[in-house]
Structure 1
Amino acid sequence: MKSIVITGCNRGIGLGLVKYLVKDKISPKYVMVTCRNLQNAKELQEIADANKNVHVLQLEVDKPETFDNFAKDIEAIVKEDGLNVLFNNAGYSPKSTRINFVKAEQMMETFSINAVGPLMLTKALLPILKRAATINKDKPLGIERSVVINMSSYLGSISMNNQGGLYPYRCSKAALNMITTSLSIDLKPDGILVTSVHPGWVKTTMGGPNAPLDVDICSKRIIQLLKTLNEDHNGQFYSYEGHKIDW
C-alpha cells in the first residue's frame, strides 16, 4: 500500500488510524488525511510535522461540489502512482433516537454525510483509484492494488436491528452498505475492491465514555484487517475483528 486517503481524522477512529499508520513498520508513502477545519486539527498537524509522508487536507464530506478540486489535490500528491486505498471514515450521528423525536432535517443531514458523501467522493477519486489498480494489475484484489473501505456500523444491519430507534444513523449506514454492494459490482472489472467495516463500539465522541473498546485497539485491528483483504471480502460487511456481519 503506497497511498491511502482517510476522511474525518481530526479525532476518534480517524485520528487513531493515522497514529497507527505512521508507527507501522511499512508506513505508506502517502498518508493523506482530512478534517473539516484545519485550524482545529492541532494534533493532526503535529503528526504531519513529524512525518513527511502525512498530508493534511481540508474536506467537508457534505459538500460534494468541492470534491473535484480535492481529487486534483490528491492527484498532485500521488501523481502516476494513483491511489491504493480510499477509507471513507467520516461520519455523523444526531442525538435523536425514537420516532417521536426524529426530524426530517436530521435524516437529510445524516444521509448527506454518511451515505451521499462517501459515494460522491469515491466517484471523484475513481480515476486515481483506477490508475493504481491498473499499474498493479499483476497483484490480487487488495490494498496493493486498489480498495475502497466504507466505515459502516452493525447499527446499519437490518437483520440485527432488534431495538429500533436511531433512525438517521441506522438508515444512513444501511444505505452506505447498499452503496458498498453496488460499488463492489461496478468496480470489480477495474480491479477495485469495496467493502464495509464495523469498527466496534469505541470510546469516541460518538461512541461515548461507556464504550468497551479503546481507539488504539480498534485502529490496530482495522489496519490488520485491511492488510488481509482479498477477493472474498469484496462487497461484504466485516467487523474490525474480521468477522462477517449479516446485512
Structure 2
Amino acid sequence: MEDDRYLPTMLSPKSVLITGSNRGIGLEFVRQFLKFADPPKYIFASCRLPEKASELTEIAKTSPCVHVIKLDVADHSSIKNAKAVVASVVEDNGINLLINNAGTYRADADIYNVSWEEMRRNFDVNAIGPLMISQTFLPLLKQAAGRKKDEVMSCNKAAIINISSDFGSITENFGRLYPYRASKAAQNMITSCLSIDLKADGILCTAVHPGWVKTDMGGPNAKISTEESVSGVFAILRKLQGEEESGKYYDSTSGKVFGW
C-alpha cells in the first residue's frame, strides 16, 4: 500500500517570509499567496525601504495576514531585527517557508570593467545575505519542522527556497557577467550545503531559477511576466516532497533540474 505521506499535496504553508517583496517577483509572490484557497496565516513581506514600497503597503492595508517588515539582506543588524519582529508574531509556531528572493544584478560587468566593489556588492546581496538570513531564521524553521516531525520534507513543513538564476550554472555558462554569475554560483553551493546540514532537522533546501522575467532587473525584453514566473516557481514548490527533492537546482520554466 502506498504511503500517503508521499502523495502530492497542496502548497499551503502557514507562515512565509519573502525577501525583496517591494517589487518584481517578490511582490508577485505576495499577490499570488493571497489568491490561494488556503493562504498563509502570516506573510512576512520584507524589503529594504518599506516606506517607499507603496504597492506592497497598499496590499497590506487590505490583507491583515501581510506584515511588511524592514530587512536589508546586506545588513546583519537589520536581519536580526527582522527575525525578532517575526518571532514575536509567530511565537512558537515558527516559519514554514523562507524564500530568499532579493538580489542585485549588473548587465555589463565583463573582464574589462568588473570592479572589486561590484564583486563585493553582488556577493553580499546574492550569496552572503541569503546565508545569513537562513542562519538567523533557522531557529524558527526548526520550530516549524518540529511541529510536523512525522511529515516528509516539504514547503508546508519547513523549507528554504533560494531564488537563483541559470546564470549561476557553471555547466550552462557562456561567459561575462562576472559579479552576478559568481555570486549566484556561490549561492547555489550554499543551497547544496544547507540541504546536507539541515537534513536531520527536516528542513528542505532547494534553488529555483525563476526564468528571464520582465522586471526592473530582467528588463523589458525578458521572456515572461512576473505572474508566469511565480506560477512556475509555485509548480516546483508543490512537487518538493521528501528528502530526494532537497538540494536540487530547478528551472521553473521547464520543471527540469539544472546542472550545477
For the aligned pair, the TM-score class normalised by the smaller chain equals over 0.9
Pairs within 5 Å for 1:210-225: 210-225=221-236
Partner of residue 105, structure 1: 117
Question: Does residue 66 in structure 1 map to residue 78 in structure 2?
Answer: yes
Task: State the Cα distance separating 1:139 from its structure 2 match.
Answer: 1.3
Task: State the Cα distance separating 1:144 from its structure 2 match.
Answer: 1.9
Distance in 1 between residues matched to 2:49 and 2:74, nearest whole Å: 13
Extract unaligned runs of 5+ from structure 2.
1-12
Distance in 2 between residues matched to 1:40 and 1:196, nearest whole Å: 29
Question: Does residue 28 in structure 1 map to residue 40 in structure 2?
Answer: yes
Contact 2:236 2:250 in 1 (8 A): no
Distance in 2 between residues matched to 1:36 and 1:127, nearest whole Å: 23
Q: Secondary structure at the match of 2:258?
A: coil
Distance in 1 between residues matched to 2:237 and 2:89, nearest whole Å: 22
Partner of residue 204, structure 1: 215
Q: What's the TM-score, normalizing by structure 2?
A: 0.92
Per-residue CA shift, 1:27-78, capped at 9, x if unaligned? 1111101111112111101111111111000111010132222111111111
Contact 2:70 2:78 in 1 (8 A): no
What amino acid is the match of 1:170?
R
From 232, 239, 249, the equivalent of 1:237 is 249
Pairs within 5 Å for 1:128-167: 128-161=140-173, 163-167=174-178
Distance in 1 between residues matched to 2:21 and 2:81, nearest whole Å: 19
Q: What's the TM-score, normalizing by structure 1?
A: 0.97
Partner of residue 19, structure 2: 7
Question: Does residue 41 in structure 1 map to residue 83 in structure 2?
Answer: no
What amino acid is the match of 1:52?
P
Extract unaligned runs of 5+ from structure 1.
none
Distance in 2 between residues matched to 1:199 and 1:27, nearest whole Å: 21
Contact 1:97 1:165 in 2 (8 A): yes
Partner of residue 187, structure 1: 198
Distance in 2 between residues matched to 1:173 and 1:33, nearest whole Å: 22
What amino acid is the match of 1:239?
D
Partner of residue 89, structure 1: 101
Partner of residue 186, structure 2: 175
**Aligned alpha-carbon RMSD (Å):** 0.9
Q: Secondary structure at the match of 1:90?
A: coil
**Larger mean Cα displacement after TM superposition, 174-183 or 75-84:** 75-84
What amino acid is the match of 1:131?
Q
Distance in 2 between residues matched to 1:67 and 1:8, nearest whole Å: 13
Partner of residue 4, structure 2: none
Distance in 2 between residues matched to 1:81 and 1:133, nearest whole Å: 9
